[in-house]
Each structure stands twice: as C-alpha cells, then as structure tokens.
Structure 1
Amino acid sequence: MSIETTHTLVVGAGQAGIAMSEHLRADGIEHVVLEKDRVAESWRTARWDSLVANGPAWHDRFPNLEYPKSGPDEFPPKEEVVDYFTHYAQRIDAPIRTGVEVTSCERLHGRPGFRVETSLGALEVRNVVAATGAFQVPVIPKLVPEDTDIAQLHSHDYRNPDQLGEGAVLVVGAGSSGTQIADELNRAGRTVYLSIGPHDRPPRAYRGRDNVWWLGVLGKWDAATPPGGAEHVTIAVSGARGGETIDFRRMAGHGITLLGRTDRFEDGVMHFNPDLATNIARGDANYLSLLDEADAYVLRNELDLPEEIEAREIGPDPDCMTKQILELDLAEAGIGTILWATGYENDYGWLKVDNALDEAGRPNHRRGVSEEPGIYFLGLPWQSRRGSSFIWGVWHDAKYISDHIAKLDGYLSYRPTAHGDSE
C-alpha cells in the first residue's frame, strides 16, 4: 500500500496555518494543511460568546484582505473573525483537510524527512510546520480539589453568564480574558471577585490613536523577546464595547472586589498575596510610561494630535485596595464558581523527534526554525518579536519560515558542475 507524500506538512488551520499556506503557495512549495477540527476552530469554540478582537479591524488582520463588515476602527466580533479566516483560506485555495488529527511525527531512517501518522493514515514529508498556536491546553492550577462543592472552569470553556450556576464568581487572572469576563459577569448582576497578579496596562487609545498605532510608531511591536520570563507578563487590554482602557479602580467602583494574586487554598479558604496595591501601581506605571513616550513622540515629530490631560488622572484607591482581603472563605462569600483565566500550555506530544523540544516540552527554535532540521513552529508568543502571536504578526513570521524552506531547497537542489563540463 502506497503512502502519500508531500513536501511540507502544516499542522493546524487557524490563523498560523492559513498564513503558512499562503506563503508556501507563493514560494511554489507543495504542501498540505491538516486540521483535526474545523478552520479557525479556536475562534469558534474556545472563546466566549461576546468576544471581539483585541485590536481594531484596520490592524488586526492579514495585509492582503480587509474585514467585510467591521469598519477600520471597529473591533470585529469572533463570528466575523471566523468568517474572515474561512474566506481567506478559500481565497488562497489553501489545501486544507479538516477532521484529520496528527498523532505522531518521527524522522525517517536512512533518508531525509518524516513519517507522520494521522487519523486517516500516514504521510511522508520533507518538512513539518507545527502551526497549532499558543492556546493548546488550558491550565487550571491544582489548588482547589475537584471534589469540592464549587464549580471550576477555565476561560477556555466559558461562554456567557447564564452558563454558570448560582452564587458569586471568583475570577483568577486579570489579563484580557479575565478582566473582560469579570466585567461581563458584573454587568449581568453577578457578585464578582477578581484576583490580580502582575500585569501591563496599556491605554486602549490616547490622543486620538489606538494603542496598536502607538506600539507601531514607537517601535514596540518589533521588540525582541525580553529576558527572565518577562515575555509572560499579563496584558490587560480590551476591545469590548468599542474599546476601552482597563481601569481596575473603576471596576471596583462598579462593584467588583479586587484581590491580590491567588496563593493557596486550605479548608475552604482561598488565600491571596498582599500584593494587590503593588500590582496595580506597577500597572499604572506601565500605563503612564507609554503616555510619556507618546507625548514625546508627538512633540518630536510636531504632530497635530489633541492633548488628553484627563488620561493621566488616576482615581482614588477603593477600599479593597487599602484594606486588602488576604483570606476569603468561599462558602461564606457565597462563591459558587471559580473561573480560571490562567492561560495555556503547549502540547507537542505527537512530535517525537530529537532536539525539537526542550526538557520541559517547549519548542527549541529561533524565529520558528527548530533545532531539529525540517521542523518548524508558528504562532508562538514572541516567536520573533512582540507582535508574533497577533494575526498580522503570525503572517510575517510565516513568510520568514516559508522563505527559509525555499532557501534550503535551493541549497539541496544544487548539483556541482562536473570537472571539464565548461571546457
């Protein structure tokens, strides 16, 4: 029985896989894209109902196609994002096969390439691009036993307030997901507690320009991966309700109880670090520093952008900041649900090749090019720069990988001229 062959296999048909397919086709590289579910599945089923893109439509897209419905300064809802990627895949005639799961990838013996086992059979390929992105396995800290009376779910599985049972909700994690979900629950009349760790808090917009514009002109999108794990710093930003700056003090004023970073759970009591005020102060400092850089840029370039003095106004600290709650008896507080907005981890268990992953199972790579020849990664946070995990950023990273594959093919196709042939 013959085994199907192709030059390059792309695993995943989200934004990363679609971008990869576009560039491979442009470089004339034969390839197949395998997706275990549907195109853009994470946008369909791993997001809550009211989610919108975190960047405006003029920016949060591929360079060659605009959104059909949302205006340039609007934040597309997730349904439009799904339609966008589905249409884009059709537009570039991406060779995507859905409903096909990759179960293993091993290097061939005695010849170049890999044998890839899938739910529909095997393939032999020269290259493999793992375009499965950054949101693979939801992480729920093992703090609260599963046999308690309190329901626990990850933001990955949250859809809307009606999904949750009765009682108050403790949201752990104050990045984009945690803050938006906490705010939505509060607006729906739920009692909400929000546990906040260290974070950056950029302005949604300033002096008539969205944050993404400022990051661009200030050169911050091209920032290299920071040292010491700083690449994992939480970013509190939202496109909800037309886009607004996250303000934890305002959220407290609307009834949300703020807490420090979650520490441990003992005998029905959740314990929190006494770092709430510190975390919010550092977020404020990050916010104000970007305003400073923006003001300096306006002055240096003599731009006619209106001043926004009120943007620097920081409201008074609410009681939950000045009198921090360090222990919370969940039953007494009436908490029926803990919602963990605590991020994701990678799952490359199918990738059974040397050098591609480190001892912790994380990709060994430089700009997506693995330490294992022929293996590539795409869609990782900070893959090449700050913008790598964003829609437009992954498109540029995909081009780099495709160019790398094409360049290597050029070397491999070289055949030296036989001695005397030119005489």
Structure 2
Amino acid sequence: MSDLHNHYPVVVIGGGQAGLAMSAQLKARGIAHVVLEKNTIAHSWKTQRWDAFCLVTPNWQCQLPGFPYAGSDPHGFMLRDEIVSYIEDFARHIDAPVREGVAVTRLRQSGRGFMLDTTLGEISADSVVLAVSGYHVPKVLPFADRLDPSVTQIHSSAYRNPDQLPPGEIFVVGSGQSGCQIAEDLHLAGRKVHLAVGSAPRCPRFYRGRDAVDWLDDLGQYDLPVDKHSLKEGVRKNANHYLTGRDGGRDIDLRKFALEGMKLYGRLKDGRGTRLQLGDDLQVNLDNADRVYNGICRMIDEHIARNKIAAPVTPHYEPVWSPTAVPTELDLAASGISSIIWTTGFRSDWSWVDLPMFDGTGYPTHKRGVTSVDGAYVVGLPWLYTWGSGRFVGIGRDTEFVADHIEERSSASHSGAYQAGQREQYAAREAV
C-alpha cells in the first residue's frame, strides 16, 4: 500500500488550513494520525483564486494554531501567493503528516471504526475528520447550457485576470464577495462590465478611524455561536458581506461603479441564446446592502458611545447613485457582451461519504463539528460554530474542540477495552 499504513487512530481528510489546523491539535495531544490530501497543500488557494486576489480580513486574523501572522503589516491584506506561503509554512512548522496526491473515494463505517477507500488502497481508522470545506463543485445557473456558444462562459474559480477573456464587454453574474471583487478587477483594468446584483450585504472597510473588522472583533461578532444568532442555523445560508482588501482595503460601492460606467441589473432569472431575463429588484438589492452597511455603522457607534471611546466621527453612507429605467431584458450580442463570469458559488458533494450523518438538504448534522455518527467529525465549514469558523481566526478554536472530543473518545474506548479484558480474564478464572 505504498507509504500508507493499514490503520490509523485518526484520518484527517483534506490538506487545507482546516485539515492542517486539525493536525496541529492532534499532534499537541500525541494522537497518531495522517492527513490525506487529494491534490496538494492549499490547493484551492493556488488554483481557484484570481491573480489579484487578496484577503478581505486583515492579516492579524491569520491565527492558525501556534502560528499567528508574524509579518510587518498586521492590518494589511495578504495576496494570494502570500496566503499559500503562510499555509505551506504552517504545514512545515508543525511537520504535518500529509500525504499529497491521495484521494479518498469512499468513506464508510466498519465495526467500531471506519474504512476508507483511497487511490492507494484501503485503510481503516478509529476516527475520521472531514476537513474538505463545503465548496466542492462550481455552480452555474441551470440555463447556462442554453446560451449561445459564441459567448465565453467561465466560473469564478477559473477566472485569473482580464486578459484571459476575449475582447468585448463582460457580464458578471452575482454580487457576493467574489462577484464584486472580480467586477472591480475588470473595471479597474478598463473592461466594460455588466453586473447582475443579488441580495448579498455589504460592510464598511474603515469606519471611525479603524477597520470595521477590528470593531466587530471587539464587539465579539466573530465569537458569536450559531445557536445564539437570531437566525440560528439559518445563518449558514447567508451570503458574506462584500468589501475588499485590495490596495490597502476599501469599500466596494456598486453605485460608485455605476457612476463610472459599470452597468448594473437585477438578479439574473433566465436566458436562452443571446437573450437574458433579469429581475426588477436592483433598487431593492442596493438599498438592502446599504441598510446592512449602515446597520454595522450604528452597531459600532453604540459600542463607542457605551464604552466612551474616543473616535473620530464618520457619516453614515448616503447613496451616490440610484437606478432609473433598469432593463429586465438584455441581448448579449447587441450589447457587445462576449463573456459571462459565473460568480454563483459552489455546491457540496458528499456522495463519497457513506455515513448516515446528513440532513434533508445534504448538510452534515453536527454540533461544533461533532457529527451524529460517533467518531466522525467535520471542520472548516462556514458557521461551523461561529462567524469566525470559516476564517483563519476561528479554525483554531474549532479544531481544538474536536481534538478534545477525539481524545476523550479515545480514552473512553481504551478504558472500555481494558474493562472488557478484565471481565474476560475473570470469567476465564471462574471457569477453571
């Protein structure tokens, strides 16, 4: 079986930041394990981010276990290649037992443990940790294959830079973090951009003298457990706020882009050939995003007032542009649009996990990463436990909790096995 053993106390599936953080916690407890990564460490950061990609949270939030950001710009925003280096350096720092190029093709229960089919053969484990995020398969709208083949279509995960697209105007579908940042990337490069705006909220970059993330951290927002959130587990379906760390960080204001020539529309509803059908909800979507933005500002204002903090006064956002006569139909050919970028997210694919641990929507049922199947765990999911769970700042706490549970389960198992052995010896003596 090449360099894999037949059995491990723990198998961690996934070699990104979540899997590596899990490895660090297990090593700290002396728990033997292996990390299986079907590609390479930090693969998605290397291959599914565009050239100008950077963090939207400040560098100081990079808090992998025992390996905080140590650079000279804690309030800056690492670029893609710097993020990759940070993760790879962490893997070397903890000497993670990672086996790259080993895919798990099936995971199932076997006796009191688990059996894993891998590309190097079959192995067993007492416990398994799925550190594979929830973003597995690029998602596009179902009518994408009905659009004219002369129009280039790519998913955001395949976008690298404006030069990879053919001449002509570009239609970006979706206004979440990726959609807004890619639209900005194209806009700054002088490309004519059309953007279908959805319901994603937005957040100020800087407010009252500090990065809004700093204020929100002081307010405990990244530590708020999912069960204390007003939406409970429903918050896991929410889109992230859009803003950017580009060029030192700034707001993303779609209204300002419109003043500069970007064409904004409501949500994309349907399409065929070269014609698109669009919603009439642009004004509502922009207003709602601004409402969230100013709501965050008010929250910070209240915190400042309550704690008598000296901070400069900053006005709340006032719209700089409002849509008028927004079309609900668009002809790509007549508009000179040659490309579509789908920034419509990903769907999960847990088809290889043959365990009864999913709800009716296909989401793993768990509490703080401890699933409904004894010995099976998940880490690295957005809002696994808090808002910080899907970020570098929260993964240490989540993996610490899971590692403690694995350690307790292992101790209980060994204790049970010892007691069972003692009973067998006693029974044998009585039979003599």
* Shorter-chain TM band: over 0.9
1:250-296: per-residue Cα shift (whole Å, max 9, x none)? 11112111111111114521111111111111111111111111111
1:241 is matched with 247
C-alpha contact 1:128 1:375 (8 A) present in aligned 2: yes
Look up the SS of the partner of 1:145 in the other structure.
helix
Verify: 1:369 aligned to 2:370, yes or no.
Answer: yes
Instruction: Supply the distance in 2 between the matched residues of 1:99 and 1:238 (Cα, whole angstroms).
Output: 33
1:139 is matched with 139
1:56 is matched with 58
Look up the SS of the partner of 2:126 in the other structure.
strand
C-alpha contact 1:57 1:66 (8 A) present in aligned 2: no
Amino acid at match of 2:8: T
1:225-266: per-residue Cα shift (whole Å, max 9, x none)? 324844323221211111111111111112111111111114
- Identity among equivalent pairs (%): 37
| Residue 223 (structure 1) shift | 2.9
Matches within 5 A, 1:30-49: 30-49=32-51
Runs of at least 5 residues in structure 2 that lack an aligned partner in the other structure:
427-432
1:29 maps to which of 6, 28, 31: 31
Instruction: Supply the distance in 2 between the matched residues of 1:70 and 1:155 (Cα, whole angstroms).
Output: 31
Look up the SS of the partner of 2:221 in the other structure.
coil
1:214 is matched with 215
Greater percentage in helix:
2
1:298 is matched with 304
Amino acid at match of 2:307: N
Instruction: Supply the distance in 2 between the matched residues of 1:93 and 1:381 (Cα, whole angstroms).
Output: 26
Instruction: Supply the distance in 2 between the matched residues of 1:295 and 1:189 (Cα, whole angstroms).
Output: 37
Query: Could you tell me the TM-score, scaled by structure 2's length?
Result: 0.91
2:429 is matched with none
Amino acid at match of 2:297: L
Amino acid at match of 2:283: A
1:409 is matched with 410
1:72 maps to which of 56, 67, 74: 74
Instruction: Supply the distance in 2 between the matched residues of 1:231 and 1:131 (Cα, whole angstroms).
Output: 17
1:202-242: per-residue Cα shift (whole Å, max 9, x none)? 11121122122122122221334324844323221211111
Instruction: Supply the distance in 2 between the matched residues of 1:30 and 1:64 (Cα, whole angstroms).
Output: 19
Q: 1:63 to 1:308 in 2, by over 3 A?
A: farther
C-alpha contact 1:51 1:77 (8 A) present in aligned 2: yes
Amino acid at match of 2:190: G
Instruction: Supply the distance in 2 between the matched residues of 1:69 and 1:157 (Cα, whole angstroms).
Output: 29
Instruction: Supply the distance in 2 between the matched residues of 1:230 and 1:6 (Cα, whole angstroms).
Output: 35
2:126 is matched with 126
Larger displacement relative to structure 2 (13-22 or 201-210): 201-210
1:382-412: per-residue Cα shift (whole Å, max 9, x none)? 1111111001212211111111111112222
C-alpha contact 1:53 1:60 (8 A) present in aligned 2: no
Instruction: Supply the distance in 1 between the matched residues of 2:413 and 2:191 (Cα, whole angstroms).
Output: 62
Amino acid at match of 1:264: D
Query: Could you tell me the TM-score, scaled by structure 1's length?
Result: 0.93
Instruction: Supply the distance in 1 between the matched residues of 2:233 and 2:275 (Cα, whole angstroms).
Output: 32
1:156-175: per-residue Cα shift (whole Å, max 9, x none)? 01000001112111101111
Q: Root-mean-square deviation (CA), in Å?
A: 2.0
Amino acid at match of 1:34: L
C-alpha contact 2:256 2:320 (8 A) present in aligned 1: no
1:346-384: per-residue Cα shift (whole Å, max 9, x none)? 12222112x222344321212111111111111111111
Instruction: Supply the distance in 2 between the matched residues of 1:266 and 1:158 (Cα, whole angstroms).
Output: 23
2:338 is matched with 336
Amino acid at match of 2:246: A
C-alpha contact 1:70 1:76 (8 A) present in aligned 2: no
Verify: 1:316 aligned to 2:285, yes or no.
Answer: no
Matches within 5 A, 1:2-401: 4-62=6-64, 64-69=66-71, 71-108=73-110, 111-145=111-145, 148-225=149-226, 226-227=231-232, 229-234=234-239, 235-309=241-315, 312-318=316-322, 321-353=323-355, 355-401=356-402
1:71-94: per-residue Cα shift (whole Å, max 9, x none)? 111101111111111111111111
